[in-house]
């Protein structure tokens, strides 16, 4: 059982294994036969975040994110924001020392900050296409970063 567990229904933290040899290393990021429920990625992208910089907080109405933290050091922040769910917040330290696939369902506000001392990457496998088919639809994102009265705040 994963030592890191979320109290939020639908949030999954799946530890990832690194297989290293003389050539380098390999990590399986996900397998369809091991993904929870109906989560099926529709696309993927890689982002690089500079030290001390955060992405988010934001949430999605219909999209589930699958983040793979396998590089650097990140603090992942989660806030329960779905109607009918108990309000709570959680923080997890993930990255090179704790490689993890995190499934974040719609309505869970999320953000992450690079707490390391170098640029580091995160892979994302959302289950919806960004801006829909052909990038012709509204983006499914509610941004909380700039809202002064937001309860979704990162420390420091």
Indicate if the pLDDT at residue 2 is higher than 60: no
Give percent above pLDDT 90 in the chain: 92
Strands (E), the chain: 12-15, 18-21, 24-27, 45-49, 54-59, 65-69, 73-80, 89-95, 100-104, 108-114, 120-124, 142-143
| Domain range summary for the chain, segments of one domain joined by + | 12-142
Measured CA to CA in angstroms, residue 72 lies from 57, 67, 69, 99, 122 at distances of 20, 14, 8, 9, 9
pLDDT, position 111: 98
Query: Looking at residues 108-117, what average pLDDT do you find?
Result: 98
pLDDT in tens, 27-66: 999 999 999 888 999 999 999 999 999 999 999 999 999 9
Query: Looking at residues 2-28, what average pLDDT do you find?
Result: 91
pLDDT, position 3: 57
pLDDT, position 4: 84
- Provide the whole-model pTM: 0.94
Which has more pLDDT, 37 or 8?
Answer: 8
Which has more pLDDT, 97 or 1?
Answer: 97
- Confidence band of 1 (pLDDT split at 50, 70, 90): very low
**Strand pairing of 12-15 and 89-95?**
unpaired
Was domain 12-142 assigned CATH 2.60.120.10? Answer: yes
- Average pLDDT of the chain is 95
């Amino acid at each position: 059982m994963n030592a890191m567990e979320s109290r939020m229904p639908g949030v999954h933290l799946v530890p990832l294994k690194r297989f290293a040899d003389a050539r380098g290393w390999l990590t399986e990021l996900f397998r369809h036969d091991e993904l929870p429920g109906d989560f099926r990625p529709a696309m993927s992208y890689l982002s690089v975040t500079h030290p001390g910089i955060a992405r988010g907080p934001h949430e999605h109405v219909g999209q589930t994110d699958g983040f793979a933290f396998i590089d650097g050091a990140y603090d992942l922040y989660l806030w329960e924001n779905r109607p009918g769910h108990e309000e709570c917040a959680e923080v997890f330290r993930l990255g090179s020392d704790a490689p993890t696939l995190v499934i974040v369902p719609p309505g869970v506000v999320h953000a992450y900050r690079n707490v390391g001392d170098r640029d580091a990457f995160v892979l994302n496998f959302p289950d919806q296409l960004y801006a829909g088919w052909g990038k012709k639809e509204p983006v499914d994102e509610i941004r909380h970063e700039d809202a002064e009265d937001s309860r979704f705040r990162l420390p420091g």
